[in-house]
Amino acid sequence: MNRRIQSALISVFYKDGLEPIVRKLNELGVTIYSTGGTQTFIEQLGIPCTAVEDITSYPSILGGRVKTLHPKVFGGILARRDFEDDQKHVAEYEIPLLDLVIVDLYPFEETVKNTTDEKTIIEKIDIGGVSLIRAAGKNYKDVCIVASRNQYSGLLELLQSQNGETTIENRRAFAAAAFAECAHYDVAIASYFNKDNSSSFQMSIGNEKSLRYGENPHQSAAFYGDIDALFEKLNGKELSYNNLVDIDAASQIIAEFSGPAFAIIKHTNVCGVAERNDVVSAWESALAGDPESAFGGVLITNQPITIAVAQKINELFFEILVAPSFNEDALALLKGKKNRILLLQKETFYPQREYKRILNGVLVQEADKTNYADWMEAGAQNATDAEKEDLVFANIVCKHLKSNAIALVKDKQLIGKGCGQTSRIDALRQALDKSKQFGFSLQGAVLASDAFFPFDDCAKMADEAGIKAIIQPGGSMRDNDTIQYCKDHGMALVLTQTRHFKH
């Protein structure tokens, strides 16, 4: 059933975009009710407006905490037009019917981001707004509810095209969006109070963005979140599902390094990474680690992109390049291919928690932000200073490979990796094969494993390849076999007590 808007209650925090709506309502002869700052805003436009206090005979009290919580306001929203008893009450208590409610919510999330002052935060917990939105949403058969400035353009278009009338489909769609606003708001407040002690999984992320498709072309997909808060897209096509997954992996590994570093990601695994004294050397060393897999990859660095490194990168076909800044001449060169995605990273990103859908529930865990909890030298001799630097680097890299994982590193350069294998010995074979494929000498290289060696076969295979230093968590019932092998064959062995499974 269509309903003509004859009256509207408007009370909003954000007033940008409101003016054309108010002017259109006035043009349509709609009676407008309002409160506080919104009332002042409307009146300054020269548009007549009735104060809610004139309906309720109560002023705004308790420092503005109570303004609209009154039967005459909620009665006008909740009264069912086709219920005789409701209409009798409306007439008896002189309740003005409200056909349109435009109400948003105090900026709770923004306040939490900008201050730690609890008093300020608590005052931004909206009471009246949520109540008005829920009431109008419940009575969507008669009332249209607009609960966010993001819906202003849609409302204005509706007012213009339908001459102030709303359909039941219009009102139901607005109600659905309004309840989503309330749900998101309540989750934000619950998260603030619960911190990490919640007994239920609650998460609400807005800003839905439809993607071309999901992991595969036959799968539909969407991204929820504010990607623009982290990156500015300087060039290229729209980000895909797989792009976003790889950018997430790339952002996490590059956050591990303080010196100039470059990393290359394929299917969330790092296939090349190096830390050097300058960005050009870092790129050359990262690419050399596996130039074959780098084709079509996601590239990321923690350094500005200069023309010198841009010229070298430009020789490779890649999907995405992420950097904290781009020199003008470098950007102009890299923009030469219109589909190539160039992202300026605004801030370092590393998650606090991780989530995964499992069966009919959700797994939640703290993010793996630790490199090692212990450093126990258990081999024939302690690792040299140079080996220690490489072992720390290798352990970081291994943490970002899918299990079972092995990383071979030399001079802070990944020269071989095995990942996603069903046995640790297979991961090592793969890593050794990769290093040989691209002509690396393993003399002086180190090995990192994401989990313990169940047998001494990995230590033996590494030794035979020329590797003389290993870092691994330890914890196997047969640790002594590996320890003894290393002692007998002059190998350094570091046990960290920190496993880095990644699935």
Catalytic residues: 138, 267
Whole-angstrom distance, CA of residue 66 vs CA of residue 60? 6
- The string of DSSP codes covering 79-117 is --TT-HHHHHHHHHTTPPP-SEEEE----HHHHHHH---
Tell me the angle at which helices 457-465 and 479-488 cross, rounded to the nearest 10 degrees.
30
CA distances from 223 to 16, 244, 255, 341 (A): 26, 9, 23, 17
Strand order in the sheet with 100-103: 50-51, 31-34, 7-11, 100-103, 144-146
Instruction: List C-alpha distances in Å: 41 to 12, 155, 193.
Output: 10, 19, 34
CB 419 within 8 A of CB 408: no
Alpha carbon distance 31, 51 (integer Å): 11
Beta carbons of 65 and 127 less than 8 angstroms apart: yes
Question: In the numeric block, which tokens belong to residue 313?
Answer: 């990168």
- Residue that is written with structure tokens 């990273």 in the block: 345
Residue with tokens 């769609």: 173
Q: How many CA atoms lie within 13 A of 174 on its CB side?
A: 35
Closest CA to 494 of 455, 446, 458, 437: 446
What are the distances in angstroms from CA 175 to CA 96, 135, 142, 317?
A: 21, 10, 11, 48
**Residues constituting the chain:** 503
Distance CA 407, CA 400 (A): 10
**Token output for 18:** 């409101």
CB 273 within 8 A of CB 414: yes
Name residue, tokens 């090692």: 372
Residue closest to 312 by CA, chosen among 396, 321, 462, 104: 321
SS3 209: strand
CA angle 21/25/31 to nearest 5° reads 135
